[in-house]
Structure 1
Amino acid sequence: MSSPTGQTAKPRVPKRIAAVIINSLKGGVVPRIGLPYVTVGRETEIAALLHDLDLIADGGASFRFLVGRYGAGKSFLLQTIRTHAMGKGFVVADADLSPERRLQGRHGEGLATYRELIRNLSTKTRPEGGALPLILDRWISGVQAQVATEGADASGAPLSPDGPAFSQAVERRIYDEVNKLQELVHGFDFARILAMYYHATVEGDDERKGAVIRWFRGEYRNKTEARAELGVNVCITDDDWYDYLKLLAEFLKGAGYQGLLVLIDELVNLFKIPNSITRQYNYEKILTMYNDTLQGKAHHLGIIMGGTPQSIEDRRRGIYSYEALRSRLTQGRFAQEGLTDMLAPVIRLNPLTYEELLVLIEKLADIHAGYFGYERTLSTEDLVRFLQIEFGRVGADTHLTPREVIRDFVELLDILCQNPGASMETLLSGEQGVGEGPAAPASGGSTLSGTHHDPAGGAPSKRDLSGFTL
């Protein structure tokens, strides 16, 4: 079956997912589901990060920075890797930094970040977050299944799940598993809390299970509260939350997962900290994480942080203002345009080509038509025309990002859908009249070319649209 544009009809995206994609992109945010339907380009970046996942699964650790300006696609790439990681059996925790969530702070800002990470803990079967109870229950069920398969009594007969010997064998296996964690920093306390969860599960004590979940989430404000409810003289604090993330990564591997991937976005909020001492403390925490992962002190743990070029490279307030980090992260002498090192700790997002943008808006046009139940009438030439108008604006070379392009395109689709009498050419011509830029010549094919005003005020000049900067 072919559409009016002469193209083969594509499978429709489920309406629930299509709604999330359209509404999220029009609002300028990244959808948490449905990314495979709209992902284009980024092959080299994704391949590099997937290589890191293999390293993490083998017991290693990795640390990466994703650098790109606002709207360039950092968050989109982070969510894409999040989806890939969950599909490969990893547990993923993600959080955006803010004035209230940092890596270190005097008023629990670091712990607030930890709480957000645990709140967003996600697996393949629980991609929306809140997967901690599921993970713990799966761990216990897995141990019970192992004992049921491998366990035997003194006579060699299989253990009955209803007998006392079975419970004792499960408990021994539980302690064997948690004892492996005791050699790590805070490992004894972590193992003790895990054992409490197992006993509460066996005894059907939902109140104690809830208290253990609260402890893992970092919700106890001090040791007094933890001692009153759980009888332990320890709780997760602003100073040691990262140590517990390392413990969690080790535990997850033993619980049947491949490891833990931590995604932290909006590093610009560290750049914006007014107090220089507080900024340095936060950068010192990044240095600790970086050293741990690269020196083999962490296992089954991956960390990816996203930020703008300014938040990373500014020598006065950015990460590069901390000399120990700058000397580790700065680009080497041999990297140059077109020859990037995707194995370096800092990945600077490569530009999307205009052809990739054309594929992206074509996908969006199909999703929009499928969601609202109409036949797509926009041809490839129409889509090329739209991109010509977008990039024909003055300043588009340096200021226009995929976020603005996508938002404009979804708005255009919405208007055309709600106003059947309107035409795309009329809308684009009207938009031209606002004075934002000259109209590009009508295209006779899919070659992406447009007009560009000389910043010095000269006549418009023809330019090739194959070098769009993301």
Structure 2
Amino acid sequence: MPGSGSEKQSDRKLQSIGIINALRRGTVPASGLERLAVGIAAEEKAIADQLDYVATGRSDLKFVRGDFGSGKTFFVCRAQEIARSGMFVTSHVVISPDTPLHKLAALYSAVMNGLRTENGEHALKSIIDSWIYRIEERLIESGGDEDEEKLAIATAEEMEKSLIRVSEENSGLAAAVRTYYHANNRGDFAVAQAALGWISGEGTVGRTFKSEAGVRGAVDEGTALPFLRGIARIIVQAGYRGLSIAFDETETAQGSSRPLREKGYVNLRRIVDAVDRNESPYTFFFFTGTPSFFEGPKGIRSLPPLFDRIQTIEDDGFRNPLQTQIILSRFDERRLEEVATRVIEIYGEAYGEVDQSRVNLRFIRAMITKITSRFGGRIDVIPRIFLREFVDLLDKCALYEEYDPMVKYQFEGAKMGDVKEEERAVMEVVW
């Protein structure tokens, strides 16, 4: 196709700029993570294999465990990137006071609002539209009438057949999807939007929608998981291979009161049991947590049935990413050097070739030493800070021919406004 090569080159450059922009902010890039990923090839393959298994109509899960600085969030974002490239819909939920582990309805709503495909975010509407469009296409291809009114009638009839399995999971979800279709067809976009809101877990939607759909209330603790199963079926019928959900920072649950913490762990056990019984077909679950979440007195060890289900064989120095838990190792100097080298390549694609007489492996090692000296020699806590500072000096080298990073660079960590609690805890104060 004419121009396709230049378009791909342009897309690559835009992705490179996006990666560098994210590193400037100290955040995980939205795409292109495979270009930064180092030392996790075995884990990436394990995830890809599990996703293939889930796409056959099964369910599976993985817990990702690591200390601060081991790259849990980066890893789970990379795993979700693998899922999307494999035609999965994904959602990334951070466990917090607004989305606590003990409230399934809140988690469900966060999952729905975070649905993402390879082509876009907030994807619930596009998924349901794709599902309807595929039904219409099948009818037309099988010799159906293309007259708008007759096609709508035939589509409604065919929808009922497709909704049978969804209705088995939750009749309310099937009714809401049905109402969305009819409201859209007659141009009643207020009701159609209310239907999407109700499906996504909104507590307050218009009475007109509820009356037409014949539903009451909203998604609650008892219906959240059945709703999720129904959504996964619609996702597959819309042409995707499945749904991949990441629950990040589950260690946050340890800060809840004991009754709420225990309720959260019971919810987690329910999900694990549902996976084991294949009650969540086409769905893959990720959970990330620190070692204290897995082993501490306020962690899942406090619920033995859950702890027994997901504990790992003792580490003997050979990582096994096929276990229920992927245990991430801490960042070391070699991995940080490799990431820095990749950032140089990405920066070059974004803005032009980097002057490697000024920014080279010798300087990278000197820079790592300068930063780690302020963090008690701990390389594992500096990757985010290092990369942010590194991009800054790449900018200065690009802007000023006379800028010599080996002479000019000084790490002023104490002046950084966004140093995280875990980073500050090991930072050495200079008086």
Quickly name the TM-score band, shorter chain normalised: 0.7 to 0.9
Query: Does residue 303 of structure 2 align to residue 331 of structure 1?
Result: no
Q: 238-247 or 283-292, which moves further after superposition? A: 238-247
Q: CA deviation at 1:348?
A: 0.7
Contact 1:95 1:120 in 2 (8 A): yes
Q: Do residues 167 (structure 1) and 149 (structure 2) align? A: no
Do the aligned residues in 2 keep the contact of 1:95 with 1:264 (CA within 8 Å)?
Answer: yes
What pairs up with 1:189-228 in 2 under 5 angstroms? 189-221=172-204, 227=210
What corresponds to 2:426 in structure 1?
A: none
5 Å-filtered alignment, 1:101-120, equals: 101-105=99-103, 110-120=104-114
CA distance in 2: counterparts of 1:97 and 1:413, whole angstroms: 35
Q: 1:297 aligns with which of 264, 272, 279?
A: 279
The range that moved more, 295-304 or 409-418, is 409-418
TM-score (norm 1): 0.78
Alpha-carbon displacement from aligned partner over 1:113-133 (angstroms, at most 9, x marks no partner): 32222111111121xx11111
Equivalent residue for 1:32, pick from 30, 49, 62: 30
- Deviation larger for 27-36 or 401-410: 401-410
SS in 2 for 1:250: helix
Q: CA separation in 2, counterparts of 1:264 and 1:203?
A: 38
CA RMSD of aligned residues (A): 2.7
Query: Within 5 Å, which residues of 2 pair with 1:36-115?
Result: 36-105=34-103, 110-115=104-109
Q: Secondary structure at the match of 2:183?
A: helix
Corresponding position of 2:126:
134
- The residue that corresponds to 2:388 in the other structure is 407
**Structure 2 residue corresponding to 1:319, chosen from 282, 285, 300:** 300
CA contact (8 A) 1:22 1:368 kept: yes
Q: Deviations over 1:141-163 (max 9, x none)?
A: 1000001112xxxxxxx332106
Please tell me whether the aligned partners of residues 72 and 401 of structure 1 are also in contact (alpha carbons under 8 angstroms): no
**C-alpha distance in structure 2 between counterparts of 1:164 and 1:368, whole Å:** 54
- Secondary structure of 1:182's counterpart equals helix
Which structure's CA Rg is the greater one?
1
Equivalent residue for 2:249?
A: 266
Q: CA deviation at 1:12?
A: 8.6
Are 1:45 and 1:342, in contact at CA under 8 Å, matched by a contact in 2? yes
Q: CA deviation at 1:390?
A: 4.5
Matching residue of 2:3: none
Cα distance in 2 for partners of 1:71, 1:12 equals 33
Q: Which amino acid aligns with 1:400?
A: V
Q: What SS class does the counterpart of residue 160 from structure 1 fall into?
A: coil
Query: What's the counterpart of residue 417 of structure 2?
Result: none
Distance change in 2, residues 1:159/1:367 (3 Å): closer
| Distance in structure 2 (CA, Å) of the matches to 1:99 and 1:160 | 52
- Residue 461 (structure 1) aligns with: none
1:177-188 maps to which residues of 2 (within 5 A)? 177-184=162-169, 187-188=170-171
Which of 221, 232, 235 is the matching residue for 1:252? 235
Native 8 Å contact 1:12 1:370 kept in 2: no
| CA distance in 2: counterparts of 1:280 and 1:359, whole angstroms | 42
Distance in 1, matches of 2:151 and 2:100, equals: 46
What is the identity, as a one-letter code, of the residue corresponding to 1:404? I
- Are the counterparts in 2 of residues 311 and 317 from structure 1 also a CA contact under 8 Å? yes
| Contact 1:312 1:320 (8 Å CA) reproduced | yes
**SS in structure 2 at match of 1:183:** helix
> Matched residues in 2 for 1:296 and 1:422: separation?
60
CA distance in 2, matches of 1:225, 1:63: 39
How far apart in 2 are the matches of 1:374 and 1:399? 29
The TM-score with structure 2 as length reference comes to 0.85
Residue in 2 that maps onto 1:367: 346
What's the secondary structure of 1:66's corresponding residue?
A: strand
Give per-residue Cα distances to partners, 1:305-327, cap 9 Å, x unaligned: 1111112221x211222221112
Counterpart of 2:259 in structure 1 is 277
Does residue 395 of structure 1 match 2:376? yes
Task: Give, in angstroms, the shift of residue 401 of structure 1.
Answer: 4.2
Deviation of the 1:420 alpha carbon: 4.0
Note closer, same or farther for the CA distance 1:389–1:365 as it changes in structure 2 (3 Å cut).
Answer: same
* Divergent runs of 4+, >6 A: 222-226
Cα gap change, 1:340 to 1:366, in 2 (>3 Å): closer
What code does the residue aligned with 2:64 have? L
Q: 1:222 to 1:138 in 2, by over 3 A?
A: closer
Assess if the C-alpha contact under 8 Å between 1:72 and 1:402 holds in 2. no
Q: Contact 2:372 / 2:379 at 8 angstroms: preserved in 1?
A: no
**Partner secondary structure for residue 60 of structure 2:** strand
Q: Give the structure with the higher percent helix.
A: 2
Identify which range, 79-88 or 351-360, moves more after superposition: 351-360
* Structure 1: segments with no counterpart, 5+ residues: 1-10, 151-157, 435-470
Post-superposition offset of 1:136: 0.8
Q: Is the 8 A contact 2:62 2:324 kept in 1?
A: yes
Deviation at 1:213, TM superposition (A): 0.6
Contact 1:59 1:299 in 2 (8 A): yes
**Is the partner of 2:322 in helix, strand or coil?**
coil
The verdict on how the C-alpha distance between 1:149 and 1:224 changes in structure 2, with shifts beyond 3 A counting, is: closer
SS in 1 for 2:287: strand
Q: In structure 1, how many angstroms separate the alpha carbons of the residues matched to 2:213 and 2:326? A: 44
Q: In the alignment, what sits opposite 2:428?
A: none
Conserved 8 A contact 2:184-2:192: yes
CA contact (8 A) 1:220 1:226 kept: no
Structure 1 range deviating more: 80-89 or 374-383: 374-383
Shift in CA distance, 331/159, structure 1 to aligned 2, threshold 3 Å: closer
Q: Is the 8 A contact 1:56 1:302 kept in 2?
A: yes
Shift of 1:181: 2.2
Q: Number of matched residues?
A: 403
